[in-house]
Every structure is written in C-alpha cells, then in structure tokens.
A and B are shown apart, each in its own frame.
Chain A
Amino acid sequence: MALYSEKVMDHFRNPRNVGVLEDANGVGEVGNAKCGDIMKMYLKIEDDVVKDVKFETFGCGSAIASSSMATELIKGQPVSEVKKLTNKAVAEALDGLPAHKLHCSVLAEEAIQSALEDYQKRTGKTIE
C-alpha cells in the first residue's frame, strides 16, 4: 500500500489555490522551518464570507495536500463556519493521513485560524 491516499496524492500533485493574495485581509503563518513544515494562508474576506484564499507551504507531501484541501473546504464559506474547521475535517476530506502525518492537518487548521485572527485584528470585527 502506498504511503498516501489517492486524494492526498492528487492534492499534492495538483495543489488548488496555490500562491499569494495581494489584497488579502487576513494572513496567517504557522509552523517552523526547524521542524520542516511552514504554512501560510491568505484570506480575502468580504461580507463575512471567504471570497478567495491562497496558500504557500514549505513541507512534505501531506503538508502541501493538507493546505490545498483546507483552502477548498473554506473557499466561499461564511467565516462563522470557517472558524469551526478542524484538522479532523481536513484529514477526513483527504481520505485519511498516516498517523505520523496528522500534524500536517493540524497545521492547516492552525494556519486558517491564525489568518482569521489576523482578519479580526485588522478589522476589529469578532467572528461568532
């Protein structure tokens, strides 16, 4: 059996929403290079909805796939829903991750939460 599911390999090989959003109003970066994973999420939020999202990731196959899947899960969603996104949802959407790679999905959740916090700081809004 391969290390990763077909879904993980698909998102790793063809990552969705890769890049930078110049007009992002919420940016979050988590992880550190020492551990080998860094994720950066750029959110463009309008009318309490994630209108656009992009990511940049330094990391292994599952880190790239987790970032990609997370962006798909939140794009077009109301921020109140995005706030509830868990790593479990990311991992499940990828048809699972190997046990020692679950931290990659945690990083994806944390990167998005960090971007939402940045948005709240910038706008003074509170996401319920």
Chain B
Amino acid sequence: MEIYADNAATTKMSRAAIDAMLPFLDTVYGNPSSLHFAGQQAKDALENARLTIARCLRATPKEITFTSGGSEADNQAIRSAAAIGRLSGKRHIVSDAIEHHAVLHTLKALEREGFEVTLLPVSANGIVDPAAVEAAIREDTCLVTVMYANNEIGTIQPIEEIGNICRAHGVLFHTDAVQAVGHLPIDLSALPVDLLSASAHKFHGPKGVGFLYARKGVRLTPLIEGGAQERGKRAGTENVGAIVAMAVALQETIDAMPETAKKLTALRSRLIAGLSAIPHCALNGDAEKRLPSNVNFCFEGIEGESLLLLLDDRGIRASSGSACTSGSLDPSHVLLAIGRPHAVAHGSLRLSLGEDATEEEMDYLIENVAQVVSYLRGFSPVWRDLCAGKTPFLL
C-alpha cells in the first residue's frame, strides 16, 4: 500500500487546476502588462482569478496581492506592518513561539533593525492565550502576528478573539493562514484580520504561488521593486497560469470543505485512537482544536528520522520534527514550545491526511507505525534504560 500522509508539506495538484493551468504554458502566453489582445487575454484571466479568490474568502479583489507563496506573503505582511509602525515611532511586535520560520526569521531580522519582539509562550496543548496577547500589547505595538493553524501540530488558534483584541487596541493583526486556507471556513468580511498569508500548494494548487490579503487601507510595502504589477506592491511579470490554477484549486477545495472536514475528522479520530494504543506515546497539540487532517505524536525511546525512513520503505510518506529532519541539532521549536523535552521531541511523527484517505489506510498506518516503533525500541539504549527503570518515562 502507498499512502501519502504529508499533505501539510504539500498536496497533490487538483486535475481541474492542472487543466486550467495548461493553456498558459501553451497558447495563452501574453504578458498581462501588454496592451494588445494576447496581453489582455492574460490580464483578464489574472483578474478573474483574483475575483474568484476574493469571493472564496469574502474579501474584495483589490485586497488580494499575488506572491510567490506563503513565505513571501508572511515576509511582506510583517514588513509592511513594521513600515507603518515606523512612521509613528511604533517598534514593538507581538507574536508567539510556534510560528513558522517565515514569520520568526522575519521578526529576527526586524529585531536587528531596532524592533522589539515579544514571543508569547503557548499552552501545553499548543494554543495561544488571547489574554496573554492583550497583556503584551503596549503603546508602541504596531503588529500582532499569530498563525491561523499550526503546520506541525495542527492546532487552530483563537483568531477571532485575538483579532477583536487587536481592533480594540488599534493594532494591526496578521495571520499566517497557510495551513488554514481551503481547510477551515474563513470569512474576511467578518473576521477581524488585517493581513493574511496563503499558499496555493497547500490546497491542491501549484507550488511557487500564493497571495497576501491586506484589508483596504493597510498599505503594503513592496519586497520586490521594478514594475507596476500588483498595483506596485509586487513587481515582476505575474505567473498567470499558476495564479489561475490557484483560484480553481481554492474554489474546488472550499466547495468540498464541509464534506472533507467531516470525513477527515472521523478518520483522524480513528488514527489517533489506534496510535494511542502504542505504549508511552502522546498526541501533540489539542485533541479538538486541530486541523481535521493533522495527527502528530511523540513516541518515547526512538528517533524520528529512522522511523520516517522505515515507514517510507512500507509506502508511508510522513514527516517528523526530529533534529535529523530539520538539519539542525535541535528538534522542532514547536514541540519544545509545548513542553516536550528534547529526548521526546526527537521521536515525533506527523501524519497529515489528504481528502482521498480511507479507513483501510488508517488501519495500515496504525499497524505499521506500531510495528516500526516497536522494532526501533528493540535496540534503543534509551528504551532499555526506561524499561529498566534507570530513567523515568516522560510519556
């Protein structure tokens, strides 16, 4: 059996999105900035895509700026809010410890430019406390940035509550919604969010394209200069085919969302229940306030990369927050932030389900994860010491 359970990393492109994209790689190759027919044909497609995306989220087309993806959108959102803050001497930003690196590293860069950043801790179940956000807001706070749903542990943040607090204090609010758009209902006509980032390949669109929503009146600072594209907010000839495909994929994913969410929530429960039977393991992140597709566990006494490789041999494509998969010596900052000790965080496994997942696949996942964990524990000196009582079990 082959199971792609890494949909939080990327998703398979939808057939409709591929079909919508193909003409732009072939006959419809005009530059949307050209005045002639070929150019205007591309321009129309571009603006139709913008309209579709705006409608999907109940925004207006002018509030949607196309980017190269989620990371660029995060960078631009934060840099734009910082630029607005600078104008009135506000140089303080509030965020949290489990953000994506596209946010965290941008904040680090701003710290070097004289900004002050407050990174709030999260609870053991991976949720940001709105009261802590309110307490952290100061006179000189120019931005609060809290992700909509976490990419590793899938926890869904209280975005509306945090947004209302930001509104009340007159502070801009950005949310990295890369894992949420297409997967959770989002109505920007009601949600108190000023800036929102999204990435097409997380909802069955192509890679290398995304968008930034900026509420009317929130001035964006271009990261890339050199042209009038995207109303001067993002220079460079637009990737028309990818943008068109993104719009098709988003519409399709949102149309299917109620059914998908219901189906995946049931499969997720089955998977969590099955994996919980493995001794000395723990679910990472809140059991309820999480993406329907996300399952993330820590298994004591083993290391995540070897688990991933052996699952790969069995046809299971998964992901881990171990140091060996991150390319650094530290395991995932998200797992550390929810209080998992290093030794435990190294033994993590993320399974992120796709719309076509089945019950049989969940049972195959449960059976094979249990077998591989047991096999690796069989020659783990850490597991031996735990079982011998030399070191205490942490899970």
Contact = CB atoms under 8 A, between A and B. Distances in A.
Nearest to A32: B343
- Most chain B Cβ neighbours within 10 Å, of A20, A33, A63, A101: A33
A40 B382 CA distance: 10
B340 to A, nearest CB: 12
B331 interface: yes
B244 to A, nearest CB: 33
B329 A36 contact: yes
Contact of A58 (B309, B310, B329, B381): B381
Interface string A12-49: 11010011100000000100011111111000000000
Contact of A38 (B305, B327, B331, B381): B381
Nearest to B324: A60
Contact of B379 (A13, A56, A60, A61): A56
B233 interface: no
A122 to B, nearest CB: 19
A60 B380 contact: no
Given A35-B323, A36-B322, A58 B331 contact: no
B313 interface: yes
Contacts of A12: 306, 309
B167 interface: no
A60 B384 CA distance: 17
B206 interface: no
A20 B323 CA distance: 27
Contact of A57 (B324, B329, B380): B380
Most buried by B among A18, A39, A61, A62: A61
A57 B304 CA distance: 13
A37 B323 CA distance: 10
Nearest to A104: B324
Contact of A19 (B305, B379, B383): B379
Nearest to B308: A61
A19 to B, nearest CB: 6
Given A29-B381, A33-B382, A61 B306 contact: yes
A36 B303 contact: yes
A56 B380 contact: yes
A60 B303 contact: yes
B342 interface: yes
B243 to A, nearest CB: 32
A15 B323 CA distance: 22
A58 B302 contact: yes
Contacts of B346: 33, 36
Given A33-B343, A36-B331, A100-B327, A58 B380 contact: yes
B301 interface: yes
Contacts of B304: 60
Contacts of B331: 36
B305 A58 contact: no
A64 interface: yes
Contact of A60 (B322, B343, B382): B322
A13 B310 CA distance: 8
Contact of B305 (A13, A35, A40, A60): A60
A35 B327 CA distance: 12
Contacts of B329: 35-36
A78 interface: no
B306 A60 contact: yes
B384 to A, nearest CB: 7
A34 B328 CA distance: 12
Contact of B381 (A36, A40, A60, A100): A40
Interface of A: 9, 12-13, 15, 18-20, 29, 33-40, 55-64, 100-101
The 5 closest A-B pairs by CB, nearest first: A33-B343, A60-B324, A60-B305, A36-B346, A34-B342
Interface of B: 301-306, 309-310, 313, 322-324, 327, 329, 331, 342-343, 346, 379-384
Given A36-B346, A38-B380, A58-B303, 6 more contacts: A20-B384, A36-B323, A58-B382, A59-B303, A60-B305, A60-B306
23 contacts: A9-B309, A12-B306, A12-B309, A13-B310, A18-B379, A29-B381, A33-B343, A36-B322, A36-B323, A36-B324, A37-B303, A38-B380, A40-B381, A58-B380, A58-B381, A58-B383, A60-B306, A61-B305, A61-B324, A62-B324, A64-B306, A100-B327, A101-B324
